[in-house]
A = this chain, B = another copy of it.
């Protein structure tokens, strides 16, 4: 299996999981949190598919495609070690959907980052809220759900509170 194959599986799984999670949480009013903007393709997808919920983007520094850049007031800039705890104070446990694509090429580094942010993400989710991640997360109180049709095991993960 080539890196191109793996990458396609990851992108296809991400979309399948997000579309599923967006539909499952459609009746919830709480915000959607996108952790990491990158070039903004996934944010662009969220913006097209999510309606009636604000989408906040957590990023160190915005470097996205112009079509896929959040308005200033929806970008939460800084290190997630600071901005996720601050978001808990600001929003409480209200998020309907959290998405993270840690996205690096280095698996060990991604895994370390997943361990770092898991306890910071966990308290943000509302009851019934979903977390979609391209890497395995390490939650104490969330439940890993079966993947929707079209998603490839190990290429995406969904957790629910």
Does the CB pair B65–A3 fall under 8 Å? Answer: yes
Contact code string A23-63 (vs B, CB < 8 Å = 1, else 0): 00000000000000001111011011100000000000000
A98, chain B: closest CB distance, angstroms? 17
Within 8 Å CB of A82, what residues of B?
none
Report the interface size class on chain A.
20 to 34
Which residue of B1, B3, B40, B44 contacts A68 across the interface (Cβ within 8 Å)? B3
Chain B residue at minimum C-beta to C-beta distance from A6: B41
Checking B2, B3, B40, B49 against A3 with a beta-carbon cut-off of 8 angstroms, the contacting residue is: B40
A112 on the B face (CB < 8 A): no
Within 8 A of B (CB), among A52-85: 65, 67-68
Interface of A is mostly: helix
Closest CB in chain B relative to A39 CB, distance in Å = 8
Evaluate contact between B41 and A7: CB separation under 8 angstroms: yes
* Chain B contacts for A7, CB-based, 8 A: 11, 41
- A49 partner, pick from B2, B39, B105, beta carbons under 8 A: B2
A-B pairs with the 7 shortest C-beta distances?
A2-B45, A4-B45, A3-B44, A3-B41, A4-B41, A2-B48, A2-B44
